[in-house]
């Protein structure tokens, strides 16, 4: 996720303004885990983060059951 992205608005009601965006998804990956004896684990490579002028980056990981958007566990941190 990116924080501090700036968009210059050229048309419409916000014409001439600079808008700042936080918590913008810059990369999204999906991984499927399998459990053994009730435990699941995975080793994942760090995602490629595009450089779009963001002031900060954060990594967010969440778990949900397949086919459901309901979050079971989530964690995030700036880096």
Per-residue pLDDT of 16-66, as tens digits, reads: 999 999 999 999 888 888 888 888 888 888 888 889 989 899 999 998 888
- How far apart are alpha carbons 50 and 62 in whole angstroms? 21
Q: With a threshold of 0.75, does the pTM exceed it?
A: no
Q: Does 11 score more than 90 pLDDT? A: yes
Give the distance from CA 77 to its chain's centroid. 11
How many angstroms separate the CA atoms of 77 and 79, rounded? Answer: 6
Between 66 and 15, the more confident residue is: 15
Q: Give residue 10's region: left, alpha or beta (phi > 0; psi -120 to 50).
A: alpha
Domain segments of the chain: what residues?
Answer: 2-78
DSSP secondary structure letter of residue 24: B
């Amino acid at each position: 996720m990116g924080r501090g992205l700036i968009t210059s608005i050229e048309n419409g009601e916000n014409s001439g303004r600079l808008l700042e965006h936080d918590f913008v998804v810059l990369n999204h990956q999906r991984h499927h885990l399998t459990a053994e004896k009730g435990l699941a684990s995975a080793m994942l490579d760090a995602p490629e983060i595009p450089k779009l002028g963001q002031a900060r980056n954060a990594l967010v990981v969440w778990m949900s059951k397949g086919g459901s958007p309901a979050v079971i566990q989530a964690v995030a941190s700036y880096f």
